[in-house]
Chains A and B, each alone.
Chain A
Amino acid sequence: MMELLAKIAFAVYAILILGGGTIAVGAHSLVRALVGLICSLLGVAGMYMLMAAPFMAFMQILIYVGAVCVLIFFAIMLSQADAQGIESGTRRPGKAALSALTFIAPVFVIGFILVKFQPASISLPVEVPLITIGKGLLEDYPVAFELISVVLLAAMGGAVLLAFEKKGRKV
């Protein structure tokens, strides 16, 4: 069984994740939604720490909180969203019911399967040394490693091409 302290930490992180996620999808202002997303991402990083994967927690903070959230903030700024937030306006009828259904359906279906067929779990996770991850990336799965680099390069090149304003031609 987990220690009491680990249980308390798990509860704190779970509250951080779920509360942040609720703010991220519910807030009228997009900047507030982004703050909720950051809370949620930090909670996930804490859970990685709890699972004895400190490298993953570090990468989570570095990539998600550091890079992706700044990108989303740029998207908020560049999309000329008004101060009230376009999220606060009226929605088409039936959208609330539809979104409630998309929330409830996976929770019940996957949750039922998860609880019904509980996977066997070890109580104390072991930390993987960093050298094992590096060897796995560069010796066991080098093609995937190179492909992810190519995907990133193509995405960034495509982004620059898309956002580049051509002179004299209406985009």
Chain B
Amino acid sequence: MSPLLMYQLVALMLLAIGLYGIVWRKSFVGMLISVELMLNGAGLSIVAASQLTEAGNSIGQIAALFIMGLAAAEATLVLAIIVVVARRFKSVETDAVSRLKG
């Protein structure tokens, strides 16, 4: 088994665990945690693909840095949305927040 394949399998497991969590979780915070797991899997996979093959090394790390920046922006926005939803619905359960009215 090549080293690249081992890293890719770990990244794939991170993606699958994140997908499982995003369906299984009932609250927005739990879903946010799952999304972070999936983004980490993506970063790990990209860095592994650039470090362990003949492709350019720096571009993989730059792409992973972009992923980290996007994750930070996404977490900020989701935090604000959770605050607004918790204030308006008094709950962050996805089942309670199923009313689509302005």
Contacts and interface: CB of A to CB of B under 8 A. Distances in A.
Contacts, number: 252
Nearest to B64: A56
Interface residues of A, number: 86
Interface of A: 2, 10, 14, 17-18, 21-22, 24-25, 30, 33-34, 37, 40-41, 44, 47-48, 51-53, 55-56, 59-60, 63-64, 67-68, 71-72, 74-76, 78-81, 86-87, 89, 91-92, 95-96, 98-100, 102-104, 106-107, 110-111, 114-115, 118-123, 125-126, 128, 132-133, 135-137, 141, 144, 148, 151-152, 154-156, 158-160, 162-163, 165, 171
Interface string B21-48: 1111111111011101100100110011
Instruction: Say whether chain A's binding surface is mostly helix, strand, loop, or mixed.
Output: helix
A100 B89 CA distance: 29
Given A80-B86, A133-B62, A155-B73, A47 B7 contact: yes
A99 B32 contact: no
A125 B72 contact: no
Contacts of B78: 75
B66 to A, nearest CB: 6
Contacts of B77: 155, 158-159, 162
Contacts of B10: 14, 17-18, 47
Interface residues of B, number: 77
Interface string B1-16: 0111111111011111
5 A-B pairs closest in CB distance: A25-B21, A121-B4, A159-B80, A155-B73, A121-B2
Given A48-B47, A72-B32, A118 B17 contact: no
A74 to B, nearest CB: 6
B51 A53 contact: yes
Contacts of A76: 29
Nearest to B15: A106
A59 B72 CA distance: 12
Contacts of A141: 62
B75 to A, nearest CB: 5
